[in-house]
Amino acid sequence: MNLEGKTALVTGSTSGIGLAIAKALARQGANIVLNGLGDIDAAQRELLASGARAMRHEADMRDPAQIEDLMKFCASSFGRVDVLVNNAGIQHVANVEAFPVQRWDEIIAVNLSSAFHTTRLALPAMRAANWGRVINVASTHGLVASAQKSAYVAAKHGIVGLTKAVALETATTGITCNAICPGATLTPLAQKQIDDRARLDSASVDETRVRMVGEKQPSLDFVTVEQLAELAVFMCSPSADQVRGAAWAMDGGWTAQ
């Protein structure tokens, strides 16, 4: 247990990758602040049942004022945020000329700007403690593009850039900032894309799942949320003290092509 006495805020932790990271950090002894628009009751119950100290705050990550409330809540509940995991994310698929302007703004707000706000608000206390971990859940789409995902690709490339800038600004301190770039991972977000595509192609969901992962991922297999969570745990460990500004792909070979 290397995070005893430390506090982790995981945005978008009501399901999928964020919930798995919250559970893994809790197993390392961290206090957890959950956030998200999904079933936050169930997520908090699960963590509390495992013996974790878990609070929750339902800030909408589109709104900087609610993000400020969230950060104040973390400070008043546990003192400060030691591990910040910027994970909340949304997706919309459309050609750029047909992309709804409001969806573009929302994707940039949730997938990119929210990480700027949480990071700028978390860093002063991390600097005072001379220790901190900022982990940005980016995507293979932070490294390469796919058609019809312009806002997502722009936001994810943006968060990889933010990761590098923050890593440089904190390079001589005990604070590290890194990105995790998952490939296709079977979560509610990915399942929705599979369901949409199956409907479009009039194909079965099972057939579509295998075809979709195979299109991009040479391993022909999904990444699991548990594998991603263990990478986040490693990034919090002393062994990762000199991992700074990395965009660490865990993608079954997607970006090796």
Residues found near ligand NAD in the complex (CB under 6 A): 12-18, 35-38, 60-62, 87-90, 110-111, 137, 139, 182, 184-185, 187-190
CA 250 centroid distance within chain? 13
Q: In whole angstroms, what is the distance from residue 81 CA to residue 33 CA?
A: 9
Reply yes or no on whether 207 is catalytic. Answer: no
Minimum CB–partner distance for residue 159 and ligand NAD (Å): 9
**CB closer to ligand NAD, 110 vs 175:** 110
For strands 31-34 and 7-10, give the pairing: parallel
Closer Cβ to ligand NAD, 5 or 206, answer by number = 206
Closest residue by Cα to residue 244 from 103, 113, 136: 136
The sheet carrying 83-86 orders its strands as 54-56, 31-34, 7-10, 83-86, 132-137, 175-182, 247-250
Backbone angle region of 12, left / alpha / beta, with phi > 0 → left and psi within -120 to 50 → alpha: left
Residues 44 and 35: their CA atoms lie apart, in Å, by 10
Give, as one character, the DSSP assignment of residue 245: S
With H, G, I as helix, E, B as strand and everything else as coil, classify residue 2: coil
**Among 78, 104, 152, 222, the one annotated catalytic:** 152
Residue 87 CB, nearest approach to ligand NAD (Å): 5
Minimum CB separation from ligand NAD for residue 105, in Å? Answer: 12
Q: CB nearer to ligand NAD: give 89 or 132.
A: 89
Q: Which run of H or E residues covers position 227?
A: helix 225-236
CB of 57 to ligand NAD, least distance (A): 10
Name which of 173 and 255 has its Cβ closer to ligand NAD: 255
* Positions marked catalytic: 152
